[in-house]
Structure 1
Amino acid sequence: MRVVPSDLEIAQAHKMIPIRDIAASIGLDEDDIDYYGRYKAKIKLEVLEKFKDRPNGKYIDVTAITPTPLGEGKTVTTIGLTQALGKIGKKVICTLRQPSMGPVFGIKGGAAGGGYSQVVPMEDLNIHFTGDIHAVGQAHNLLAAMIDASILHKNPLNIDPLTIMWPRVVDVNDRALRNIVIGLGGRENGYPREAGFDITVASEVMAILALTTSLKDMRRRLGRIVIGYSYDGKPVTAEDLKAAGAMTVIMKEAIKPNLIQTLEGQPCILHAGPFANIAHGQCSILADMMALKLADYVVTESGFGADLGMEKFMNIKCRYSGLKPDCVVITCTIRALKMHGGVGNVVAGKPLPEEILRENVPAVERGCENLAHMIKIARYFGVPVLVSINRFVSDTDAEVEAVRQKALAAGAEGAYPITVWADGGAGAVDLARAVVEACEKPSNFQFLYPDHLTIKEKIEILATKVYNAAGVRYEPLAERKIAQFEAQGWGKLPICMAKTHLSISHDPKLLNVPRDYIFPIRDIRASVGAGFLYPLAGAMRTMPGLPSQPAAFKVDIDENGRTVGLF
């Protein structure tokens, strides 16, 4: 068996193409980009006007089954498929989210792909990159500071401190900051109140960055952010606090998408990084709009499974962008299908259980119920669906064939094993050809629900059609806030469900396809600036914590000044 070096070793050994040449390959000249060193650049928004008359390329979304805690390789698949499309002669760009440093130094790792299907410079994009996440954090925290300053200075907006729902943010997994008390130490430090920190990528500012379509649109969206309520029950916005203008100035460079490259020289536009639980989990609309004008094929990725990221891609991102996908690729692994079939317990940070590495076709077939459900969700939106099997060395031909048969029976156009982690683009050539063919098939794209439905009607469509629930139960707090949001005119906003990614349901312990259960809504919150409502089904962590053995333990600098231990 061929030994594949670590992701970092592969990235460091790779000779990158100067970003000037990558830009030129898609028709961009030096007036269209701002350099951030030799191998990364920002693309100016004027590019959209420059190429506005070009037809859009084909638009492919990569999603997954319900993942194990280790993930199923969506980013690896996205990059590998991009490289494979390049191998068969297609002009292609992939668009990805920027990883947060929280998971990088925690347990999950980065978001640059892996093995021979990576985007580079890997170290840069996992740590600091072009500063976009820092800009989001600064804009967010400026608003937080202005809220407390306004209250201290005679509270002209009559803000009720008990209603403030705008925390601080930091891009580190730091559980000790989840719940804090601020304003201690005397009147000059403000009024004491309970507060907390979220991780920066959970900020509504990050969701706005991903959903905006222009600088003016971002300015409007930042102004619409609701931070809490006045004593007489009126929403208080960032515009009311006179914060939105300064926030926009902080974000003026961050709004420009970032250009990098795959290991095989295809362009990648990497921009924005919103949570896929609390927010919608997609790279920016601007990245996709640019890529679709600059390439014949654009491969993007949605966070977590089709029940989370892909559903939000369709119902939220496409609603605001006006873009329509031509094909969906659902990624799966044999080990995840076995887990859904009742074999093995996959735990992040621990070795895979022995039983999950042994051939077990019946378990794979049982687990394919989850895959079939994800295919059904994708087909709701009227686009062709393909399945990619991210193949590991322990997977047998019989197991792969079982997945192929089940995928076809569920309505997929085809199912293809890929080996892009070990083989790069050469490991997904069959999938690439199938994607090209699928993108030429007729589609009838449609949203799952229209804007005019009530909040409850939208929630119930998601619960029954996507999460396979028998019905919905609303806690009293959720009932009150739904009525309040409808009265405030926010009922037309799409729904961005906040729930676990480890189950189709709200309960991470319910694997495969749960049935005959009631989906609980304990609360609902409004991201009016981003443009969605997010009901909470279960407890959602917006500030992760570090494990006992974080990835940070392994990261260091060697005697030659090179990074070591970063994946």
Structure 2
Amino acid sequence: MLSDIEIAENCALRDIADVAAELGIAPQNLESYGRFKAKIGGDFSARKAKLVLVTAINPTASGEGKTTVSIGLADGMRKLGKKVCLALREPSLGPVFGIKGGAAGGGYAQIVPMEDINLHFTGDLHAITAANNLLCAVLDNHIFRGNELDIDPEKIYFRRCLDMNDRALRNVTVGRGGEGVEREEHFEITAACEVMAILCLATSLSDLKRRLGNIIVGENRRGEYVYARDLKAEGAMCTLLKDAIKPNLVQTLEGTPAIVHGGPFANIAHGCNSIQATYAAMSLADYVVTEAGFGADLGAEKFLDTKCRIAGIEPDCVVVVATVKALKLHGGADKTTLSEENLEALEAGMPNLVKHIENIKNVYKKPVVVAMNRFASDTQAEIDLVMRMTEYAGAQAVFTDVFLQGGEGGKELAAAVVKAANQPSRLAYSYDLRDGVVKKIDDIVKNVYGGDGAEFSELALRKIEDIEKRGYKELPVIIAKTQYSLSDNAKLLARPQGFTVHVRDVILKGGAEFIVAVAGNIMLMPGLGKHPAAERIDIDEAGKISGLS
């Protein structure tokens, strides 16, 4: 069987101008990066499309294939004669060279050129890294040059970033040897940094500049916040991002238009592609398929509670992706026996899927379709069990085979999604923005995770009190926690009961305009495993890449 990159390399791509023409993008609004990718511009105020959000159960070691299903669903809709556009996130180099590998789909449901998308693409993540670190350099230089703003070096909150998993940079010292003011510094991965979040939540270039100016870099010695605008850094930062804010246009293996832009992580950021990209897709197509990172407790919650509020949009249907193998893992099956029929483990793992269905239907009041990513090892008895328990939970399950069949394997799912998306619905939220920060976090834990509530460290409570005193009480809340469990304990699989979420820290993101609650032992800079994906990636004399999948 061909690898993902071999399938992608054997594909005959359409010229990007033809893809743009299918969406009605005028030539003057197309900035080509070669023949197969481009930046796009224009008036994206129409936003007429039906919006479909793809999310998933809590991820497992076997994988669920959320991006693959998103792509296959869009291809399936196009085969049904719908004018459709994908709106996906850009991959981060951290996961590409870390544990996950590429993030452009798989099999015959991919976005292409996959090697470009997975690597440097159009340079957006590099521009974000540069803008972020420019602010850090300006900040340290200001302190070194006399510190006119009286910034307290012990209370600097803004961190440097790098788009790579590098645990050695989590805690470092800068300014040693007289090369500046010596102080402790910390790196975040670019996908988790505030500038990434700002780029993805900005509704215009002017809004981007405003948000960059509102980044809180630290405090002065009087305890007042110091902002990026106080350092006069926002103009230069915005200049570095002038092209990065423009959405990127590519295509699927079958030529379906795909707008790929922005890449915040969903376990430590808000996990959705850019508002600009979503606006563009909704203005250019009749149906838009977008995706939120990790499980519905992380990406979908943040899409619905945060992005939808900021952007003034809402999905018309939500698709929850699962596999029989992943559900068996949630039910306690050994990962070496997942290809064997195990109805007991499947039934024990199904409550994870059921909880996500209930959240979409009962908390957010949206139609839901379950996409079961089919494997050859799925038995009829296992399929029947999933169909029965899903129907009992009030949703329709569709087994789909987009990995091997592309859009043809997604037509049945596409038909179910189109039907659901045309049902009337009105988005509700899991918490009220007007409530205090503690209440909002508690509501997410109770309403979305199914826990008993949140517990807060003394540090977190002090920070919450300070945030509310400074007038930031009504911002959305982003909970940073493990993606593997509904709780903040990665070992509690399926649908745990009677747990609390432990909030150890709270971080105000003044530019992104949300509050991050850090739960459990989540890290803002991931590390590499013993055998990272980078070990498998290579290139030959002819420039042919291998191992990227």
1:378 to 360, 365, 369: 360
Tell me the CA shift for residue 70 of structure 1. Answer: 4.3
For each residue in 1:82-116, what CA deviation from the matched residue of structure 2 results, as whole angstroms up to 9, or x when unmatched? 00001111110011100011111111112100000
Tell me the CA shift for residue 154 of structure 1. Answer: 1.3
Counterparts of 1:194 and 1:333 in 2: how far apart (Å)? 44
1:456 to 428, 438, 441: 438
1:357 to 332, 335, 339: 339
Q: Which runs of 5+ in 2 are unaligned?
A: none
Q: Could you tell me which residue of structure 2 aligns to residue 10 of structure 1?
A: 7
2:308 to 307, 315, 318: 318
> Are 1:238 and 2:235 an aligned pair?
no
Matching residue's letter, 2:328: K
1:415 to 389, 397, 411: 397
Q: Could you tell me which residue of structure 2 aligns to residue 349 of structure 1?
A: none
> Are 1:255 and 2:228 an aligned pair?
no
Counterparts of 2:526 and 2:465 in 1: how far apart (Å)? 31
Tell me the CA shift for residue 197 of structure 1. Answer: 1.5
Segments ≥4 residues shifted beyond 3 Å: none
1:191 alignment partner, SS class: coil
2:33 to 33, 36, 40: 36
Q: Which runs of 5+ in 1 are unaligned?
A: 345-351
Counterparts of 1:444 and 1:374 in 2: how far apart (Å)? 18
Counterparts of 2:186 and 2:314 in 1: how far apart (Å)? 38
> Are 1:182 and 2:174 an aligned pair?
yes
Tell me the CA shift for residue 362 of structure 1. Answer: 2.3
Is residue 62–residue 325 contact of structure 2 (8 Å, CA) maintained in 1?
A: no
Counterparts of 1:449 and 1:106 in 2: how far apart (Å)? 35
Matching residue's letter, 1:500: T
Q: Could you tell me which residue of structure 2 aligns to residue 47 of structure 1?
A: 43
2:230 alignment partner, SS class: coil
1:341 to 304, 307, 331: 331
For each residue in 1:505-564, what CA deviation from the matched residue of structure 2 results, as whole angstroms up to 9, or x when unmatched? 010011111111222111111111111101111122121222221211222222422112
Tell me the CA shift for residue 297 of structure 1. Answer: 0.4
For each residue in 1:176-195, what CA deviation from the matched residue of structure 2 results, as whole angstroms up to 9, or x when unmatched? 11111110112xx1111111
Trace 1:135-534 onto structure 2 (pairs within 5 A): 135-186=127-178, 189-344=179-334, 352-354=335-337, 356-379=338-361, 380-412=363-395, 414-534=396-516
Is residue 69–residue 502 contact of structure 1 (8 Å, CA) maintained in 2?
A: no
Tell me the CA shift for residue 55 of structure 1. Answer: 5.7
Counterparts of 1:248 and 1:136 in 2: how far apart (Å)? 10
For each residue in 1:168-210, what CA deviation from the matched residue of structure 2 results, as whole angstroms up to 9, or x when unmatched? 1111211111111110112xx1111111221111110000111
Counterparts of 1:377 and 1:157 in 2: how far apart (Å)? 47
For each residue in 1:17-36, what CA deviation from the matched residue of structure 2 results, as whole angstroms up to 9, or x when unmatched? 00000000010121011110
Pairwise CA RMSD? 1.1
> Are 1:557 and 2:549 an aligned pair?
no
Counterparts of 1:145 and 1:194 in 2: how far apart (Å)? 14
For each residue in 1:241-268, what CA deviation from the matched residue of structure 2 results, as whole angstroms up to 9, or x when unmatched? 1111110010000000000000011100
> Are 1:100 and 2:92 an aligned pair?
yes
For each residue in 1:34-81, what CA deviation from the matched residue of structure 2 results, as whole angstroms up to 9, or x when unmatched? 11000000011x332xxx4x4611000000011103431110010010
2:283 alignment partner, SS class: helix
Counterparts of 1:381 and 1:549 in 2: how far apart (Å)? 40
Matching residue's letter, 1:19: I
2:176 alignment partner, SS class: coil
Comparing 395-404 with 296-305, greater Cα deviation is found at 395-404
TM-score by length of 2: 0.98
TM-score by length of 1: 0.95
Tell me the CA shift for residue 296 of structure 1. Answer: 0.7
Is residue 487–residue 500 contact of structure 2 (8 Å, CA) maintained in 1?
A: no
Counterparts of 2:59 and 2:529 in 1: how far apart (Å)? 20
Is residue 19–residue 256 contact of structure 2 (8 Å, CA) maintained in 1?
A: yes
Is residue 64–residue 331 contact of structure 1 (8 Å, CA) maintained in 2?
A: yes
Counterparts of 2:73 and 2:500 in 1: how far apart (Å)? 38
Counterparts of 1:228 and 1:559 in 2: how far apart (Å)? 49
Counterparts of 1:137 and 1:367 in 2: how far apart (Å)? 40
1:560 alignment partner, SS class: coil
1:206 alignment partner, SS class: helix
Matching residue's letter, 2:539: I
Tell me the CA shift for residue 444 of structure 1. Answer: 2.0
Q: Could you tell me which residue of structure 2 aligns to residue 348 of structure 1?
A: none
Counterparts of 1:492 and 1:549 in 2: how far apart (Å)? 44
Is residue 70–residue 108 contact of structure 1 (8 Å, CA) maintained in 2?
A: no
Tell me the CA shift for residue 153 of structure 1. Answer: 1.3
Is residue 389–residue 400 contact of structure 1 (8 Å, CA) maintained in 2?
A: no
1:47 alignment partner, SS class: coil
Q: State, as a whole percentage, how many aligned pairs show the same letter.
A: 50
Tell me the CA shift for residue 240 of structure 1. Answer: 0.9
1:473 alignment partner, SS class: strand
Is residue 47–residue 279 contact of structure 2 (8 Å, CA) maintained in 1?
A: no
Matching residue's letter, 2:171: N
> Are 1:75 and 2:64 an aligned pair?
no
Counterparts of 2:283 and 2:541 in 1: how far apart (Å)? 45
Counterparts of 2:106 and 2:484 in 1: how far apart (Å)? 22
1:133 to 120, 125, 147: 125
Is residue 62–residue 326 contact of structure 2 (8 Å, CA) maintained in 1?
A: no
Matching residue's letter, 1:20: A
For each residue in 1:99-150, what CA deviation from the matched residue of structure 2 results, as whole angstroms up to 9, or x when unmatched? 0111111111121000000000001011110010000000000000011111
Is residue 32–residue 47 contact of structure 1 (8 Å, CA) maintained in 2?
A: no
